[in-house]
Structure 1
Amino acid sequence: ARITTRLQQYRAKAELSRNTRPQAWVPREKLPRPLTSSASAIRKLMRKAELMGISTDIFPVDTSDANASMDGRRKHKQPALTADFVNYYMERNMRMIQIQDNISEQKSLKDKLESEQEKLHVEYNKVRKLSKSYSDLSLVKEIQTRIGKAATSFSRLRSRAWSNKYLTERTKTRINQCCVVSVLLYGSEAWSTYARHERELNAFHMRCLRNILGITWRDKVTNEAVLARTGSKSMFQTLKVRRLRWLGQLRRMPDGRLPKDILYSELSAGSRGRGRPLLRFKNVVKLDMKALDIATDNWERLAEDRTKWREQLREGGDRLDKDWILSDCS
């Protein structure tokens, strides 16, 4: 009987607690899944909503003591979130994502602009150096610059090539032609040189060849012997041949190309100053053709055939070197 009484008491107590238990909170509107549901996070969000003036009271508020219930346990108060607050929360997250995307996009754009600025700065320095070289419209500074760069290239190869006893003279000469002469005569096809410029370039060229062969002024070796020993050409021949080869290339260009238009065009206005005028490219190539025994009134027809034109230049260049050597010896 005592056990039955105790069971009845437990059943009554369980029924009472079941009837007085608060109903589970179910949102009236469907809430987004990413929204946090921890008690501390909910309190912070509700506090922020209150500060912003957003209402959070859509459920009836229990005015009874929240700290105690009928069975003496603390009652859990379910959070109440309005649709406005949820929209604010989602819009805020979207704005934060957009701001982060904009920041990353602006950063990549900044890096791209900085790289472009660096490239433009390098190009500007190159153009400024070239403008300084051609500021006085003379070849003095340009030739001095070319000789300086060629001398630097020559000195860098001293220990690797010129002082190397395992390399033949022919190999050293070809290295000099590739690494030194190409630097020395860079852009020489468009030069309008005078005799003093050609003598200066030829003196540097002969000095390099004598240095390669180990010949000093005490040996009393002529330039003819140095050129014959190395199989090289003088700067007088090389400059003229390079200019005329470029002239033939201009002639064979199709009409409408800018270099060809500049060659055959003339200024419509302007006058030359008093005194002897400076040599133009046309004047220099005419002198070159006379030096190589090429008719100035027939050169266009010869230049149409590339093979014949180069053969004509080769023969005239060899003949020019022989005449220069004979005049130098006399």
Structure 2
Amino acid sequence: MNISVVIPLLNEHESLHELYDWIAQVMQSNRFSYEVIFIDDGSTDTSWNIISELSQSHPEVKGIRFSRNYGKSQALHAGFAKASGDVIITMDADLQDNPEEIPELYNMIVNDNYDLISGWKKKRYDSVISKNLPSKLFNWAARKTSGVKLHDFNCGLKSYKNEVIKTIDVHGEMHRYIPLLAKNAGYSNIGEKVVQHQARKYGETKFGIDRFIHGFLDLITIWFISHFAKRPMHLFGALGGIMLTIGFGFSVYLGIDKMFLNPHGRLITQRPQFYIALTTMILGTQFFVAGFLGELILRSKPNRIRYNIKNELNLKESL
């Protein structure tokens, strides 16, 4: 098996036949051996029926159906677990990603020995105000925070070595940061390719402006995970130490001032420095406790099931 095409989707029944036919034409014209894995993330339309029909007519079509909507990251996680290709291509199901890009994405992994290639939709057909400008701001922040120099973190069109997708753990809404997850896992040979972006042909976008808010929050999360996931005490202990040092310094100052410099002045509890010292020492203690709890959780966390699969088509477990 040379290529696995992993396609998460939600209510995209209008585009599925056209998308598959396009992918098949590209694969066959390039004589690729391939599989197409559709992950139905809780669609309420006839998407699963279409995937079932395609799988019956085309054995290379695989299907995974979630019992409800779990999100794109969980859909990719399920698809990655089943993918058996040497090279994995991810793309969206709305026809905004062009399957004609697949051969070059494949060659950049196989011939140029990249671990991961991320698409860059340099020219976009989205709304400038609602999507383009927030996307540029988000990508700028992601580059500065992560150190991964990509122009378009959120492009769904990417290619990977098989070992990369079998190593990284995509969950929550971390699909935007797969290149950073790969980098943290030791796969630093990450490239970028300008890809064609097409106007949406059917339906409406499933993502609103709130995805960028969630994206920035996830960026903070993944920054923390990148630097302190293995040792949370390094962060919380440092913050706790700073707070306790400030509080202790104010306490010493108040004690010296009251005992030697101004013994007949105001009561210590009437001075603002007392409350600064009290607050910072309490915060410092809490940071230390948070660090200890983080260390304990890391050492005892169980493996959690993040989604429930309702149906599968033409699939075997991939190692």
TM class by smaller structure: under 0.3
TM-score of the pair, normalised by structure 2: 0.20
Greater helix content: 1
Higher relative contact order (CA 8 A, sep 6+): 2
Larger Rg: 1
Greater strand content: 2
TM-score of the pair, normalised by structure 1: 0.20
